[in-house]
Chain A
Amino acid sequence: MIRHLLSGADLDAATATRILDTAAEMATVAGREVKKLPALRGRTVVNLFYEDSTRTRISFEAAAKRLSADVINFSAKGSSVAKGESLKDTALTLQAMGADAVVVRHPASGAPHRLAEWVDGSVVNAGDGTHEHPTQALLDAYTMRSRLGRLAGLSVTVVGDVLHSRVARSNVLLLSTLGAKVTLVGPPTLIPVDWATRAAAANTSGGGAAQSPDITVCYDLDAVLPTSDVVMMLRVQRERMTDSYFPSAREYARRYGLDGQRMRRLPEHAIVMHPGPMNRGMEITPEVADSARSTIVEQVTNGVSVRMAVLYLLLGGNNA
């Protein structure tokens, strides 16, 4: 069993599937009168958030509390961190408080890896810089599986600012592990050069790219819609415009935004996902976001179940 969850790459197919199966059981708790399980009684989970992310923090908090863990919320703002305390000193403090797990959100890629070296407890990456957000990928996979019944063989199209997206990185890793085919779509400026060139090389040499994950890159959204089972729209920050990643929000929306017209090109069964928070009118129109294909609200609900499963698997036994 894994000790930390830092990256989608930490999960092999068996472990990932076990998390999804466990999450399915955890989901039944939400329908009960007593939405609580005693599994993590006496365990302490610290939410260490260096970035404001109310939705992710609340999701982890609900997950930990439903498993009866004690939850300590440690927000960097207005704390010792704001006074200049280093990550290592914070880690030693959490260690001294007996944290069994630290759920960390941090603007610097790799901060959870550093933390894992300094604390004895389990570290769960709740989003680090432009690196990864593995529980988001798990909840996305869970949502796909519950809507479409499977993951193996699904065509998943991830659209937008892949370059800066931790959601995209974790999804690419996890979905490849679980047998889905991932296509990345976006302006070439927002696709990592390495992935773009590797995908291009794989195309010309008839597949068999040197390294996993196995991905396809396409710059034309309309071309991939008819064969997509899942379209995952990534949030695009308007600031990218000032850095010349694309000329204007209008042009971005026209080329890579998902509107009703484009949505109707999808197969009947296809679903539309978004990790939130959305920029309505930028990468997704309200018509799409509020349509029956949209899983955006389910993703939030599933987030709690998946995080319960992760916390249980990390802390439920003596493996921590």
Chain B
Amino acid sequence: MACPPAAESPPARQPSVKVILASADVQRVVDRIAHQILEKTQGAADTVLLGIPTRGAPLARRLAARISTFEDVAVPVGVLDITLYRDDLRRHATRAIGPTELPPGGIDGKRVILVDDVLFSGRTVRAALDALNDVGRPSSVQLAVLVDRGHRELPIRADYVGKNIPTSLAESVKVTLVETDGTDGVKLYGGTTS
């Protein structure tokens, strides 16, 4: 999920906004990930892309579209809602749950690539792995993210990273996509420019 906790508390002084990826950059990064997937999976055979809501879902669809453009293979795409598997359910008011949509062929025996926008603590991915466990048995699981901002709290790493961004915990990374937010972009908020 895109918003780490830091986003909730606005920085005290001189909030800075830094553009990490502009609109065109986002598309280039998606293309690169698509190429990497094709390369690393020998043509994306027996592969399923599962997006993690909110922004992982459109990202997964974009990746599938780009893969189809590059190599003319149709990669099944689905959505994996992880709300009920989160480890912080009790820290918030009850969260609305979203749909989980698996592609018609299912995920059993397939290589599942989880897709999310930002990799941060790793807790979302942990929840996704648990959720995956309850809906089927993939042959292997990989992870693709648009941005890795570091600060992992669990032993999790991404197989495909669009961009590594060194951040401090006081900063927050915000990804926007045309499908969910109207524009593509990645911005870094917070920190202080004193």
Contacts and interface: CB of A to CB of B under 8 A. Distances in A.
A1 interface: yes
Contact of A317 (B85, B89, B98, B100): B89
A318 B93 contact: yes
A36 interface: yes
Task: Classify the secondary structure of A's interface with B.
Answer: loop
Given A38-B84, A39-B84, A316 B135 contact: no
Contacts of B135: 32, 34
Given A317-B92, A319-B94, 17 more contacts: A1-B93, A1-B94, A18-B96, A22-B97, A25-B81, A25-B99, A28-B99, A28-B100, A32-B134, A37-B134, A38-B84, A38-B130, A67-B84, A312-B94, A312-B97, A316-B94, A318-B93
Given A38-B85, A39-B84, A312-B84, A25 B100 contact: yes
Contacts of A1: 93-94
Contacts of B89: 39, 316-317
23 contacts: A18-B96, A25-B81, A25-B98, A25-B99, A25-B100, A28-B99, A33-B136, A37-B84, A38-B84, A67-B84, A312-B94, A312-B97, A313-B94, A314-B94, A316-B94, A316-B95, A317-B92, A317-B95, A318-B90, A318-B91, A318-B92, A318-B93, A319-B93
B179 to A, nearest CB: 21
Interface string B78-113: 000101110001111111111110000000000000
Interface in B113-151: 130, 133-136
Interface of B: 81, 83-85, 89-100, 130, 133-136
Contacts, number: 52
B142 to A, nearest CB: 22
Interface string A236-272: 0000000000000000000000000000000000000
B134 A34 contact: yes
A34 B94 CA distance: 23
Nearest to B101: A28
Interface in A293-320: 312-314, 316-319
A199 to B, nearest CB: 37
A39 B97 CA distance: 11
A32 B136 CA distance: 8
Contacts of B81: 25
Contact of A36 (B92, B100, B134): B134
